[in-house]
Amino acid sequence: MNVSKVLIVGGVAGGASTAARLRRLNEDVEIILFEKGEYISFANCGLPYYIGGEIKNKSDLTLQTPKGFGRRFKVDVRTFNEVISINKEEKTVEVINHLTSEKYVESYDALLLSPGAEPFRPGIEGINLDKVFTLRNIPDTYKIKDYITENSPKSATIIGGGFIGVEMAENLVTAGVKVDLIEMQNQVMPPFDYDMACIIQNEMRLHGINLMLETALEKIEENGSSLKVYTSKGVIETDMVILAIGVKAESKIAVDAGLSVNQRGGIIVNDNMFTSDEHILAVGDAIEVLDYNTKEKAMVPLAGPANKQGRIAADNIAGIKSKYRGTQGSSILKVFNLTAASTGINEKTAKRLGINYEKSFTVSSSHTSYYPGSEEMYVKLIFHKDTGKVLGAEIAGGEGVDKRCDVIASVIHFNGTVDDLTKLELCYAPPYSSAKDPVNMAGYVAENILNGVSKIFHHHEVSDLKRDGSIHLIDTRTRGEYAAGHIEGFINIPVDNLRQHLSELDKNKKVYIVCQVGLRGHVACRILQGHGFDSYNLSGGYALYNEIYNKNK
């Protein structure tokens, strides 16, 4: 593009990244950045943690001030200035200055749209009451924080169990507030499958959060100094409500200008970030992207992709041919003492797309068990049955979840297989990992499944196993572990004693094995198979089963 003047609409992740990259590529181009609010380049992902007190200072939320950003990158930053319309034919925009109410027009050679997404507000009674809050920007954050400081609420109700809902639940509890969380689905955190979401839910309940799943919000009413929240399962009295139902693209100016959008209002762009107009680009939460894993169209409101898209848009404005490969959807969440991360596709998506997939569950220590402080992590791996290609992963546990999910995300990005997971040489020292890293272990287990060395069954199949003596059900843990809790119908034969009991088993009957995490179960299955038995190991063991069916109540 031959440009001398670029206008950027929106000054957070995508817009600020575009402006900074473009200036580094071209010292002469005129750049004007419009932001309808007071702040640019703020840490929107950190907003819940200021409310909870983890982030102490307001100033830490602003990564760049408008003045500082403008000075460093020679950008004309205009806060409180909102672009309200686009004239594609004239290549101009109309802007309103909210401080003066003045309207004016600016021309452009290239226009970059990064308007973001706004919280979704359902059209129900009471949704706009004063004590009903949303969280999108710094003013929203200050409003919630000030309300808590000034009113010392004892209770809060959160509507929605996605990232914002779960993060706000944790931070409100940290601030001393009792929390009820209402979610229409049967689980929190939709990017995760139900079995892994159960681990997140257990951690939330452990810290006193009342989860009301499969529950619909019906209306909200004032009740003196508090609120009444009416749901499909009853009424809650609460001091405040946080709406975290989801977001929708803030794309009205694009729609009004006649740019191509999808059914959800997402601005359609090509892999160079250009819209249907050759002089207008778009990035961030308001655009439709290509799902890197499924090659389907999607909308993924994450900061990481927005920053990458901003860089690519700037490259193309500056004449560098740069393409966006799609959004993989890697994400991570802190829930009190738990970390949960995911990348690639989940099992729900694999089923919907008809992919011939398999899954495995492994439970590994974050570092060697003999070094103090190791914590368990649950790893769910989704992989293709025919090719072994790694399709997705979900991990929940303590320290080290982030780096394991990052490694698997990299393998997925480069179309790697479970065999690649086994071959990765990852950093090892006792304080940090094990000689067989949890990533390697996930690969070993998946590889064993694919090549027939190990036969497995899953937690959701346990209830269908017959208890009529037609099959053998064996728990290979120690006597003490078995006594502390076991699955109904499974008899206890510790793995180290299994060979002495082989004569008691019928080779014409299938044998289903459970141990604590699957490791001793695998050993037991190999012993049994070596003696002519058809045996199956419970993937993830009793530990995962217990998280889903016993703790998650």
Nearest to 180 by CA among 260, 136, 234: 234
Active site residue 515: no
Nearest to 511 by CA among 444, 451, 448, 455: 455
Q: For position 553, what pLDDT does the model report?
A: 75
Whole-number Cα distances in Å, 321 to 8, 108, 310, 328, 539: 20, 21, 14, 21, 46
Q: For position 60, what pLDDT does the model report?
A: 79
Q: What is the mean pLDDT of the chain?
A: 95
Q: Residues 205-222: pLDDT tens digits?
A: 999 999 999 999 999 999
Judge whether residue 552 has pLDDT over 90: no
Structure tokens at 263: 């059914």
Judge whether residue 198 has pLDDT over 80: yes
Judge whether residue 53 has pLDDT over 90: no
Cα Rg, the chain, nearest whole Å:
27
Q: For position 90, what pLDDT does the model report?
A: 97
Q: For position 13, what pLDDT does the model report?
A: 86
CB atoms within 10 A of CB 41: 23
Longest pairwise C-alpha distance within the chain: 91
More confident residue, 193 or 303: 193
Mean pLDDT throughout 421-438? Answer: 96
Instruction: Find tokens 């802007």 and name the residue.
Output: 95
Q: How confident is the model at residue 56 (pLDDT cuts 50, 70, 90)?
A: confident
Q: Residues 510-544: pLDDT tens digits?
A: 999 999 999 999 999 999 999 999 999 999 999 99
Strand 287-290's sheet: what is its strand order?
267-268, 287-290, 297-298
Judge whether residue 327 has pLDDT over 80: yes
Q: Residues 277-310: pLDDT tens digits?
A: 999 999 999 999 999 999 999 998 888 999 999 9
Q: How confident is the model at residue 58 (pLDDT cuts 50, 70, 90)?
A: confident
CA distance 444 to 381: 11
* Lowest-pLDDT choice from 86-90, 195-199, 326-330: 326-330
Judge whether residue 154 has pLDDT over 90: yes
Q: How confident is the model at residue 59 (pLDDT cuts 50, 70, 90)?
A: confident
Give the HSE-up count for residue 445: Cα atoms under 13 Å, Cβ half-sphere.
Answer: 33
Of the residues 45, 198, 405, 515, only one is catalytic, namely 45
Q: For position 63, what pLDDT does the model report?
A: 72
Share of the chain above pLDDT 90, in %: 89
Q: Residues 386-426: pLDDT tens digits?
A: 999 999 999 999 999 999 999 999 999 999 999 999 999 99
pTM score = 0.94
Structure tokens at 494: 């510790």
Phi-psi label, residue 390: left if phi above 0, alpha if psi -120 to 50, beta otherwise: beta
Residue pair 476/491 in contact (Cβ under 8 Å)? The answer is no
Q: Alpha-carbon torsion 412, 415, 416, 417, what sign?
A: positive
Instruction: Find tokens 């990052």 and name the residue.
Output: 406
Q: For position 65, what pLDDT does the model report?
A: 85
Mean pLDDT throughout 62-82? Answer: 91
Judge whether residue 382 has pLDDT over 90: yes
Residue pair 315/322 in contact (Cβ under 8 Å)? The answer is yes
Residue pair 390/420 in contact (Cβ under 8 Å)? The answer is yes
Q: For position 62, what pLDDT does the model report?
A: 76
Q: Residues 243-256: pLDDT tens digits?
A: 999 899 999 999 99
CA distance 47 to 136: 8
Backbone angles phi, psi at 506, to 5 degrees: -95, 120
Mean pLDDT throughout 36-48? Answer: 83
Whole-number Cα distances in Å, 487 to 66, 414, 516, 541: 60, 40, 11, 11
Q: How confident is the model at residue 152 (pLDDT cuts 50, 70, 90)?
A: very high
Q: For position 44, what pLDDT does the model report?
A: 73
Residue pair 328/308 in contact (Cβ under 8 Å)? The answer is no
Q: For position 447, what pLDDT does the model report?
A: 98
Axis-axis angle for helices 163-174, 194-206 (nearest 10): 20
Q: How confident is the model at residue 71 (pLDDT cuts 50, 70, 90)?
A: very high
Three-state SS string over 391-431 comes to EEEEEEECCCHHHHHHHHHHHHHCCCEHHHHHHCCCCCCCC
CA distance 257 to 254: 5
